[in-house]
């Protein structure tokens, strides 16, 4: 141990355990400064409203954990490059450390900051705290990047680094340093005020590192053994709900991987279901792989041939979709779940995304933007990659001609209509036979169920076959144009 000062810059890694940058500083320094800029929008896409709420709660939780160990976070609002330069002058020869971000804009910014620090005589170290494998370390045989999931998965699993042990950072042995910056978390206006829509989200979620591990443990104890089948049914809580915790780095994918592998190897959980779960964690890795190799994943079609597609501009229909008033119960239930909890079930995300980009032929970027603002797990990699996958403009084998039928999807994955009833209570009295197509209900029965179409619940904003045919024609035209 030296008498070096360590400066830890927190970003998307809001945890103490298995935090490689923090771990490194604990091994090499004797005193510690912990900093973060909760706005941090100078260099990248600014956070959506639901993510800001999560960030506030998560930082609050992290600071509390740090306080218990005698440390605290210094919040700063200055541009990070300027603030770090000031710290560099205050602590010559300090060691700065952070965990990497992987979108091209952030990489460029972090590289600039690293150079500035090194030019000023400081040491700057960056680490992988967010992924199982660095996106550049997984390559095709010809040295390119993967555009298809299955070979990517095989190549990733072949990498031994996943199995490396997890690090623990004993920060209590380091002396805390106060750098005299008095900004407070509350000063950053991350919480909604007018109106304050946070109560329903706060009631649904627990925030922070401990909550993330509690979620993982509950999932392993109660749900993982039914994951492969159960994950497709939105009224069952068979998924892990770890996405926002992963997004903000309250838990690392390596921690999840190690825990699931451990339980599997000790035969405490079913192997097939465990592997299915881990394969979803690898989908997240794949999305980061694409993000790293594709500038503007949230802005540009991954497959450029779709640039000529003529999307419809229809503000009214977009708004009806956003508000969950399309007249298709499974879509409306999903959009309302999103609004009230900041999260939506994966199966339903696919159905609503397909409906927007295919039936309504509205640009997938509009949907991506809405998800970015309303999801607590809004992720710079998963969100655009998944939107492009569903729209058919992205990587991997997601054919553009696949159009989800919202009625059949509802009947298949919400057969009793329990999910719809939960989020669209005005349809509660409908039987499973009608719950996914209220416009087919005989008038007399509608009355008995207290439903007046167009008043208590909307008529469908588009007829299914018409929407499907129009989408196929538009996408087919691209094929003909480019072939
Ligand atoms: C249109 C669309 C937008 C999406 N936007 C996001 C987003 O912004 N952030 C986000 O984390 N996920 C996104 N997803 C992927 C997926 O829907 C969520 O990760 C999942 O629903 C989160 O719930 P969970 O943690 O209970 O998932 P689980 O089923 O328990 O999965 C565990 C973890 O694996 C990863 N994962 C699971 N499914 C996928 C998938 N299809 N693609 C990539 N990673 C996956 C996530 O990190 C997830 O937390 C999107 C999917 C679609 C179709």
d(C-alpha 414, C-alpha 279), whole Å: 24
CB of 206 closer than 6 angstroms to any ligand 1 atom: no
With H, G, I as helix, E, B as strand and everything else as coil, classify residue 183: strand
Within 10 angstroms of residue 119's Cβ, the number of other Cβ atoms is: 10
Q: What is the pLDDT of residue 2?
A: 66
What per-residue confidence (pLDDT) applies to 394? 82
- Please tell me whether the peptide bond between 195 and the residue prior to it is cis, using omega within 30 degrees of 0: yes
Is the confidence at residue 483, as pLDDT, over 60? no
Please give the pLDDT value at position 352: 98
In the chain, % of residues over pLDDT 70: 96
pLDDT category of residue 147 using cuts at 50, 70 and 90: very high
pLDDT for residue 279 is more than 90 = yes
- pLDDT, average across residues 452-473: 97
Predicted confidence band of residue 45 (pLDDT cuts 50, 70, 90): confident
d(CA 382, CA 349): 12
pLDDT at 441 over 70: yes
Q: For tokens 């700057």, what's the residue?
A: 124
User: Ligand 1, from 211, 269, 291, 346: best to mutate by most atoms within 8 Å of Cβ?
Assistant: 346
Residue 203 banded pLDDT, cuts 50, 70, 90: very high
Mean pLDDT for 256-268 is 96
Residue 34's pLDDT is what?
A: 97
User: What confidence tier does 395 reach under pLDDT thresholds 50, 70, 90?
Assistant: confident
Question: Which phi and psi (to 5°) does residue 446 adopt?
Answer: -55, -45
**Residue 367 near residue 356, CB atoms below 8 Å:** yes
- Mean pLDDT over residues 142-156, rounded? 94
Asked whether 353 lines ligand 1 (CB < 6 A), one says yes
CATH class of 304-482: mainly alpha
What is the rounded average pLDDT of the residues 350-361? 98
For the segment 87-132, what is each residue's pLDDT rounded down to a tens digit?
Answer: 999 998 899 999 999 998 999 999 999 999 999 999 999 999 999 9
Residue range(s) of every CATH 1.10.579.10 domain in the chain: 304-482
The domain 1-129 belongs to what CATH superfamily?
A: HUPs (3.40.50.620)
To test the ligand 1 pocket, which listed residue (222, 241, 243, 375) has its Cβ within 8 A of the most ligand atoms? 243
149 Cβ inside 6 Å of ligand 1: no
CA–centroid distance, 321 to ligand 1, in Å, is: 20
CA of 277 to the centre of ligand 1 (A): 11
Class of the CATH-defined domain 131-164+208-293:
mainly alpha
Percent of the chain with pLDDT over 90: 87
Q: Whose alpha carbon is nearest atom 47 of ligand 1?
A: 243
pLDDT at 17 over 70: yes
Enumerate the CATH 3.40.50.620 domain ranges in the chain, comma separated.
1-129
> If pLDDT is split at 50, 70 and 90, which confidence band does 413 have?
very high
Domain with CATH 1.25.40.80 in the chain: 131-164+208-293
Find the range with the poorest average confidence among 36-40, 183-187, 327-331, 423-427: 36-40
Q: Is 91 helix (H, G, I), strand (E, B) or coil?
A: coil
Average confidence score pLDDT of the chain: 94
Task: Please report the pLDDT score of residue 42 as a whole number.
Answer: 55
**Burial (CB count <10 Å: 0-12, 13-18, 19+), residue 473:** exposed
User: Are 49 and 373 within 8 A, CB to CB?
Assistant: yes
In this prediction, residue 43 carries a pLDDT of 60
> 3-state class of 457 per DSSP?
strand
Contact indicator for 284, 246 with CB cutoff of 8 Å:
yes
Instruction: Note whether 98 and 21 are within 8 A (CB).
Output: yes
Helix (H, G, I), strand (E, B) or coil at 315: helix
């Amino acid at each position: 141990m030296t008498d070096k000062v360590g400066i830890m810059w927190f970003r998307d890694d809001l945890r103490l355990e298995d935090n490689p940058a923090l771990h490194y500083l604990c091994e090499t320094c004797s005193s510690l400064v912990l900093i973060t800029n909760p706005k941090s929008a100078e260099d990248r896409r600014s956070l959506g409203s639901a993510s800001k709420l999560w960030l506030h709660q998560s930082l609050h939780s992290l600071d509390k954990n740090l306080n218990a160990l005698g440390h605290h976070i210094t919040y700063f609002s200055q541009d990070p490059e300027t603030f770090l330069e000031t710290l560099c002058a205050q602590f010559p020869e300090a060691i700065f450390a952070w965990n990497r971000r992987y979108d091209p804009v952030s990489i460029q910014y972090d590289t600039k900051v690293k150079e500035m620090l090194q030019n000023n005589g400081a040491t700057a170290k960056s680490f992988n705290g967010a992924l199982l494998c660095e996106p550049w370390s997984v390559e095709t045989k010809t040295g390119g990047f993967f555009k298809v999931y299955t070979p990517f998965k095989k190549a990733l699993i072949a990498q031994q680094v996943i199995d490396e042990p997890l690090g623990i950072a004993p920060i209590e042995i380091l002396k805390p340093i106060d750098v005299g910056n008095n900004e407070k978390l509350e000063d950053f206006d991350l919480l909604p005020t007018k109106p304050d829509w946070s109560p329903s989200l706060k009631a649904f979620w627990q925030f922070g590192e401990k909550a993330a591990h509690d979620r993982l443990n509950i999932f392993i104890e109660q749900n993982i053994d039914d994951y492969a089948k159960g994950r497709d049914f939105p009224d069952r809580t068979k998924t892990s709900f770890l996405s926002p915790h992963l997004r903000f780095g309250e838990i690392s994918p390596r921690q999840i991987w190690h825990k699931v592998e451990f339980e599997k190897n000790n035969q405490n959980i079913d192997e097939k279901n465990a592997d299915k779960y881990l394969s979803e964690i690898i989908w997240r890795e794949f999305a980061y792989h694409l993000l790293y190799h594709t500038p503007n994943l949230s802005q540009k079609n991954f497959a450029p041939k779709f640039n000529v597609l003529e999307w419809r501009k229809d503000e009214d229909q977009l708004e009806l979709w956003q508000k969950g008033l399309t007249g298709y119960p499974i879509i409306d239930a999903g959009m309302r779940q999103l609004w009230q909890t900041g999260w939506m079930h994966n199966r339903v995300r696919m159905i609503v995304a397909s409906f927007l980009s295919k039936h309504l032929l509205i640009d997938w970027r509009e949907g991506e933007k809405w998800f970015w603002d309303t999801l607590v797990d809004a992720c710079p990699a998963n969100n655009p990659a998944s939107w492009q996958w569903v729209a058919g403009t992205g990587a991997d084998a997601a054919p553009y001609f696949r159009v989800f039928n919202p009625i059949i999807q509802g009947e298949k994955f919400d057969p009793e209509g329990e999910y719809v009833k939960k989020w669209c209570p005005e349809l509660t009295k409908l039987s499973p036979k009608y719950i996914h197509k209220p416009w087919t209900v005989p008038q007399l029965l509608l009355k008995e169920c207290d439903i007046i179409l167009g008043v208590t619940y909307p008529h469908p904003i588009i007829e299914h076959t018409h929407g499907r045919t129009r989408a196929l024609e538009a996408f087919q035209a691209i094929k003909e144009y480019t072939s």
